[in-house]
Amino acid sequence: MRWLLLLLLVLLVTLQYQLWFRGGMNDVWELEKSLEVQRAENAQLRKRNEALAAEVEDLKTGRDAIEERARSELGMVKAGEKLIQVAEPSRAAAAAAARKEAPEQ
Model confidence at 91: pLDDT above 80: no
Q: How large is the average pLDDT for residues 85-100?
A: 75
At 46, the pLDDT band (50, 70, 90 cuts) reads very high
- The pLDDT of residue 104: 57
Q: Is the pTM of this model over 0.75?
A: no
Helix axes 24-61, 2-21, angle to 10 degrees: 30
Q: How large is the average pLDDT for residues 32-60?
A: 95
- The pLDDT of residue 49: 98
CA distances 4 to 11, 16, 17, 96, Å, are 10, 18, 20, 95
Model confidence at 45: pLDDT above 90: yes
Query: What is the 8-class DSSP label of residue 76?
Result: -
CA distance 80 to 101: 41
Q: Count up the domains in the chain and report the number.
A: 1
Give the structural domain span for 41.
2-101
- The pLDDT of residue 79: 86
Average pLDDT of the chain to the nearest whole number = 85
Model confidence at 41: pLDDT above 90: yes
Phi, psi of 34 (to 5 degrees): -65, -30
